[in-house]
Amino acid sequence: MTDQKSSLLKIRGLRIEGRADEKWFEIVHGVDLDLRRGEVMGLIGESGAGKSTIGLAAMGFTRDGCRISAGSIEFDGMELTSSPEEDLRMLRGARIAYVAQSAAASFNPAHKLIDQHTAAPVQHKIRTRRESEEDAMELYRRLRLPHPEEIGFRYPHQVSGGQLQRAMTAMAMSCRPDLIIFDEPTTALDVTTQIEVLAAIRDIVDQFDTAALYITHDLAVVAQMADRIKVLLKGDEVEEADTRSMLASPKEDYTKSLWAVRSFQRQQKPPAGAGETPVISVSGVSAAYGPVKVLDDVSFDIHRGRTVAVVGESGSGKSTAARCITGLLPPTGGDIRHNGQVLPASFKERSKDQLRQAQMIYQMADTALNPKKRIGEIIGRPVAFYRGLRGADLKKRVDELLDQIELEPSQFFHRVPSELSGGQKQRIGIARALAAEPEFIICDEVTSALDQLVAEGILKLLDRLQEDLNLAYMFITHDLATVRAIADEVVVMKEGKVVEAGPKDEMFRPPHHEYTDLLLSSVPEMDPDWLDGLLERRGVDNIGEAARK
Amino acid sequence: MKDVLSLVAKRLGLGFVTLLVVSIIIFGAVELLPGDLAEAILGQAATPETVKAMREELGLDRSAPVRYVEWLGGALQGDFGVSLANKRSVAEQLGPRFRNTLFLAAVAAAFSIPISIVLGVLAALYRESVFDRIANVATLTSISSPEFFLGYILILFLSVQNPWFPSISSVTGDMPFTERVFVTLLPAITLTLVVIAHMMRMTRAAIIALLASPYIEMARLKGEPRWKVIAVHALPNALAPIINVVALNLAYLITGVVLVEIVFVYPGVGQLLVDSVTKRDFPVVQACCLVFAATYILLNLLADVGSILSNPRLRHPK
Amino acid sequence: MSTFAIVFYTLMIAASCLAAYYHRREAFLVLFSLTLASFLMGLLGGESWLRTVAIAIGLFFACAGLAYSFREFLAQTLPRETAKIMRNAPLTASFGLFVILVYVVAAVFAPVIAPHGEAEVIGSSYAPPDENMLLGGDQLGRDMFSRIIYGARNTVGIALLTTALAFLVGSLTGLMAATLGGWVDQTCGRVVDTLMAIPQLVFALLLLTIVGTNVVNLILVIALLYSPLVFRLARAVAGNIVVMDYIEAARLRGEKTWYLIISEILPNATAPLVAEFGLRFCFVFLAISALSFLGLGIQPPTADWGSMVRENATLISFGEVTPLIPAAAIALLTVAVNFVVDWMLHLSSGLKE
């Protein structure tokens, strides 16, 4: 058609406003963007950076309550900001397509995949229904979906998440668009599934030489997918560069800090002495939700001053293990010992002191703090409840705790959670756990809802507190970077069983158990050649799901 | 498909059990009378002899469970005993009135269902517009007004000041259909006004929730025209909530009917119920309550079964 | 065409043009459709209809103006935080607040405001209005106006008491069921499902036949029948709260159920519960009025709006509007409360985002 290098999308001075409380606030402050034909650009930034909003604006689309207030968006010579809705509609689906974050929610539950797939080409008169159906099977085959002839005739809820995400990519390809917007297409997936989808997306984009905007918050993912990377922060551009040069030498401080996060790593502590009684010892624990068995003969020990990381994908039983330890889900077999003494199965039968010794920090700080209470009350309650402190003594203790988590007491004591940032809320969660003066803390995905910089701060704080107070941590996570940063010992779980366990340094060194290997090798690295190398090692047809069998 | 059938069967079973429990409540409530039925009917002035004679006449000398089984068995065959007030068979009085009430409800439903669904969808599509805001105020006003207020306003304007419609809806069995509809019109409009308001608000809420789903955004981003987004992507999923709204409001119609029948002196079950309550004619009250409750439970049942059947996840199991 | 019609149409068209000129699209649409509608009304019903339309439009704007001034008044006099919320309130809400205030004043100062006693017979039955009896007499010759004022006290008072009772029972059991879970929750759910399987009004009629009609029975029966609805809402709201991690944290700390309900759950459930109270009040109020209208609710000689409609209903066939006044009083209060509740629901849903 046209010259490969010719410009496809040109955005100049784009400003977008969002409405809140009957007033308009600017959320994107004048962003420029250039995309050539066949080029993949990665848009990267933390939550609130405005990357999805920009992605949708590239289709001339804004969500309800948003509007484009200034700037121009030129797609292949056509100005989108001033085009009538009808012209934009002819463009959408046909020449610019969209792949959403959650395929499960973005496929209409009432129609079969194939009906949704063929809608756009038939609507835009690019293909007949028959041609489009045949084309769909071809695309499904290229995207390595199982049973390509048949899978399209299923309903969305009959297909797994990773497959749906690929089917949605196929749907975006149905009209062979010039540009596809990928809006965090793998964020909701487990790492091993993520690989399949990443590889499929990259292949198909290569094969048809489609340009793409790849939106994500994950640097390692974008490194695999994009030719160029643009970094965004709170609706402003930070910098843009070729992927390799960006990874090798980021210029701006903010970008450097994003890169640096991954470098935090603590030395593994020496294993506890053989004769030492573990703080928490889980032995042969099994558990079930009704008839569904979710834990099967799980055993591990947690020693004073050490961190045990429990890793696994969703459904592996790692959170259930925590629920058994806290007594929320009484196990059906096995027992849990605290300093050598067996704990009652249900938390209702445990003594106040036993409850005090094991505390918990949650993933979502938003739901972990009562929104109607002041910080002083939230942290003060365990102090008053367990130690019976009142009045000035209580206030003094809460101030100490706030100092410990590096928040200024006079500033935070009287605030409510909604006035705090995500990281500050998570710190309050930590302070509440510390207020009980426990020996043992369960950290359930404590950093996965946070932006990377903030997450690092939390990890460092937890590490320092462990040093100061000789705490034992059980760290539940699916993120191996976090494991590498903070763990002393690692327990790998899959389908309710412990697959492998051991000191961190050993776990990250081959030889591994087969599943551990799959898990470890599936975590994207910051090397642009990583995915290629991995696919080569595994064999193209042998990725993800296939390798698991 | 098997899952759906078993779900529906389960729901039907639950409905049946509920009906049974409700019949026990309706029967048992009368047993809670201070003293007993005979004393309640005859009053304090009655001599012990007359009370005893009355007891025998009513069969009160037998135990309550026995009488319950007899009552329920009779009711299932359409026999509700005899009225205390006029000694006539309850079923004979109830039958034609029940048909009248159903007719009134049907006329009201025929008006209100199409109008309110169309208006509700429009209000959802053009939300926050003038139309939506006016509709919001109008429906709130209509919901807030007692049925008798609306009824008397209609009588005042459409039957007293402008003698267009009769203010008293005396329907008889041998009336021709058109005349019957004409006579029923005012009470039907009154009911319609209230039910439209409810149904429209519920439809609007259901559609708005639906339009916020990601698959609607996806359809728009695929460049599908607006009508197609609504007809192909929103409506099939809106079926469940709309079926639910319709059935719930039909159930509401059945109770709203009581007041409207009184205002327009319409010979339906509601009027019979209120009359019998004033006369403390227990067999009739029990029969009316059972009929109302059964209809109500049936409609709620339909609502649930409808939404089970229209759920694609249940219709096409894995 | 009469002068009135000419003046009326001229004003309507002028207003529409003004709106169009100043690009007030919405105002224009409303005004012009009103104009078109009044053409139709004029053709259909002649001048008398036109006058009715004119009065309705006038009333509407009077209410809007009143609501606007009252909102300004509140925004000026209230403390800063509340004033800010008030300033953003829709006109319907401030209208609702104003009406509620008027009813409260009428109810509290009824003996002062009413010129005559509640059950005092003054003139002949159905006496026409004069300066002694502002709205004329009722079927026994009692002063309508005074009885309407006293009605505010009786009808609203009883409805309020009933709602409070239903609310106390419903929300407490609802919160308990959600917090305790397990069999308590299951049992409560079953009982409530069964109670709600019988239409409320019909159930009320059945129960009142049995226990007899007096005020205490009325309150107890209605409260019993409406508490399941409150239970459902409280259960649903609390159900969303108890799954929160902060509740789990409190449970694991070893807190008692009572502390969980009062200190952790209740503060988060207040907003929807208050809105629910308003909503339930409307339903209870309408139900009691309906029963009174049927002659089975509040009994004479107590002045009550529902029974007043029934007692004077015959007047309607003579084209009198008097019986409609108490009915309108019922409607106005429910509308007002609904407006305020609607606004509160909007506020609480807006704050979540």
**Phi, psi angle pair for A500, to nearest 5°:** -155, 150
Indicate the pLDDT class of residue C353, thresholds 50, 70 and 90. Answer: very low
| Average pLDDT, integer, range A175-199 | 83
Q: Which of A391-405, B175-189, B303-317 has the lowest mean pLDDT?
A: B303-317
For A110, the closest of B214, B217, B236 (CB atoms) is B236
Q: Does any CB of chain A come closer than 8 Å to the CB of residue B218? A: yes
Give residue A380's pLDDT.
92
Minimal Cα distance from A442: which residue of C? Answer: C249
Give residue C352's pLDDT.
37
CA distance A386 to A366: 24
Contacts of C293 in chain B (CB under 8 A): 146, 148, 259, 262
Residues C282-317 have pLDDT tens digits of: 989 999 999 998 888 888 788 888 888 888 888 888
Residues A374-419 have pLDDT tens digits of: 999 999 999 999 988 888 999 999 999 999 888 888 888 888 888 8
Q: Does any CB of chain B come closer than 8 Å to the CB of residue C339? A: yes
Is the pLDDT score of B226 beyond 90? no
Residue B218 corresponds to which amino acid? M
Give residue A540's pLDDT.
53
Q: Which residues of A make CB contacts under 8 Å with B?
A: 56, 59, 61, 63, 89-94, 97-98, 100, 102, 105-111, 119-120, 123-124, 155, 157-158, 171
Give the containing element (helix H, strand E) for A83: none
CA distance A320 to B316: 31
Contacts of B148 in chain C (CB under 8 A): 290, 293, 309, 327
Indicate the pLDDT class of residue B318, thresholds 50, 70 and 90. Answer: low
| Average pLDDT, integer, range B63-74 | 84
Using DSSP's 3-state secondary structure scheme, residue A213 falls into strand
- What lies within 8 Å, CB to CB, of A467 at 6+ separation is none
| Average pLDDT, integer, range C264-280 | 88
Contacts of B282 in chain C (CB under 8 A): 209
CA distance A8 to A409: 54
Domain C150-348: assigned CATH number: 1.10.3720.10
Residue A116 C-alpha, separation from nearest chain B C-alpha, in angstroms: 9
CB-CB contact of B208 with B127 (8 Å): yes
Is the pLDDT score of A315 beyond 80? no
Q: Which chains touch B (3 or more CB pairs under 8 A)?
A: A, C
| Average pLDDT, integer, range A25-33 | 85
Cis-peptide into A510, omega within 30 deg: no
Q: Hey, which residues does A307 pair with through a beta bridge?
A: A473
Instruction: Characterize C168-203 residue by residue with b for buried, 16 or more Cβ atoms within 10 angstroms of its Cβ, and e for exposed.
Output: ebbbebbbbbbbeeeeebeebeeebebbbbbbbbbb
For C293, the closest of B140, B259, B277 (CB atoms) is B259
Residues A286-301 have pLDDT tens digits of: 988 878 888 888 889 9
Sheet with A489-494: strands ordered across: A358-361, A440-444, A472-477, A307-311, A489-494, A497-503
Indicate the pLDDT class of residue C221, thresholds 50, 70 and 90. Answer: very high
Residue C352 C-alpha, separation from nearest chain A C-alpha, in angstroms: 10
| Average pLDDT, integer, range A425-444 | 92
Residue A95 C-alpha, separation from nearest chain B C-alpha, in angstroms: 10
Listed residue (A161, A209, A160) closest to A186, CA to CA: A161
Residue C1 C-alpha, separation from nearest chain B C-alpha, in angstroms: 21
Which of A270-274, B87-91, C43-47 shows the highest mean pLDDT?
Answer: B87-91
Write down the domain spans for chain B.
Answer: 109-268
Q: Is A236 exposed, middle or buried (0-12, 13-18, 19+ CB in 10 A)?
A: middle
Contacts of B30 in chain C (CB under 8 A): 210
pTM value is 0.83
- What lies within 8 Å, CB to CB, of C308 at 6+ separation is C138, C144, C147, C148, C151, C323, C326
Taken in order of first residue, the domains within chain A and their CATH numbers are 7-259 (3.40.50.300), 280-509 (3.40.50.300)
Listed residue (A40, A43, A39) closest to A14, CA to CA: A43
Residues A72-98 have pLDDT tens digits of: 888 888 888 888 888 888 888 888 889
* Residue A350: how many other CB atoms lie within 10 Å: 20
Q: Most B CBs within 10 Å: which of A86, A106, A113, A178, as the mutation test of the B interface?
A: A106
Is the pLDDT score of B38 beyond 80? no
Contacts of A386 in chain C (CB under 8 A): 253
Q: Which chains touch A (3 or more CB pairs under 8 A)?
A: B, C
Listed residue (B69, B28, B92, B33) closest to C198, CA to CA: B28
CA distance C90 to C88: 6
Asked if the Cβ–Cβ distance from C202 to B160 is below 8 Å, we say no
| Average pLDDT, integer, range A243-266 | 75
Residue with tokens 């004979």: B92
Write down the domain spans for chain C.
Answer: 3-87, 150-348
Residue B189 C-alpha, separation from nearest chain A C-alpha, in angstroms: 36
Contacts of C253 in chain A (CB under 8 A): 355-356, 381-382, 385-386, 436
Give the containing element (helix H, strand E) for C69: helix C25-77
Is the pLDDT score of C336 beyond 90? yes
The C-alpha angle A98, A255, A197, rounded to 5 degrees, equals: 35
SS percent in chain C: helix, strand, coil, step 5: 80, 0, 20
Residues B265-308 have pLDDT tens digits of: 889 898 899 888 888 888 888 899 898 888 888 888 888 888 78
Indicate the pLDDT class of residue C351, thresholds 50, 70 and 90. Answer: very low
Residue C253 C-alpha, separation from nearest chain B C-alpha, in angstroms: 38
Mean pLDDT for chain A overall: 84
Contacts of A167 in chain B (CB under 8 A): none
Q: What is the SS3 assignment for A249-283?
A: CCCCHHHHHHHHHCCCCCCCCCCCCCCCCCCEEEE
Using DSSP's 3-state secondary structure scheme, residue B10 falls into helix
Quote the ipTM score. Answer: 0.84
Residue A369 C-alpha, separation from nearest chain C C-alpha, in angstroms: 5
Q: Most A CBs within 10 Å: which of B222, B230, B233, as the mutation test of the A interface?
A: B222
- What lies within 8 Å, CB to CB, of B227 at 6+ separation is none
Provide the number of CB pairs (under 8 Å) joining chain B to chain C.
142
The alpha carbons of chain A give a radius of gyration, in whole angstroms, of: 26
Minimal Cα distance from A89: which residue of B? Answer: B223
Q: Which chains touch C (3 or more CB pairs under 8 A)?
A: A, B
The C-alpha angle A17, A230, A258, rounded to 5 degrees, equals: 100
- What lies within 8 Å, CB to CB, of A503 at 6+ separation is A268, A271, A488, A489, A490
DSSP string across C293-309? HTTSSSPTTS--HHHHH
Indicate the pLDDT class of residue C333, thresholds 50, 70 and 90. Answer: very high
Asked if the Cβ–Cβ distance from B262 to C294 is below 8 Å, we say yes
Q: Which of A93-102, A251-260, B92-101, B239-248 has the lowest mean pLDDT?
A: A251-260
Provide the number of CB pairs (under 8 Å) joining chain A to chain C.
52
Q: Where are the alpha helices (DSSP H) in C181-264?
A: 182-196, 200-211, 215-242, 245-253, 257-259
| Average pLDDT, integer, range C261-290 | 89
Angle between helices C157-180 and C182-196 (to 10 degrees): 140
Give residue A548's pLDDT.
39
CA distance A117 to A312: 34
Q: Most A CBs within 10 Å: which of B208, B215, B314, as the mutation test of the A interface?
A: B215
Q: Most A CBs within 10 Å: which of C84, C247, C248, C260, as the mutation test of the A interface?
A: C248
Asked if the Cβ–Cβ distance from C209 to B292 is below 8 Å, we say no
Sign, CA dihedral A81-A83-A86-A92, equals: negative
Q: Is B178 exposed, middle or buried (0-12, 13-18, 19+ CB in 10 A)?
A: exposed
Paired tokens of C51: 């006058």
Asked if the Cβ–Cβ distance from A21 to C248 is below 8 Å, we say no
Residue with tokens 């001033």: A82
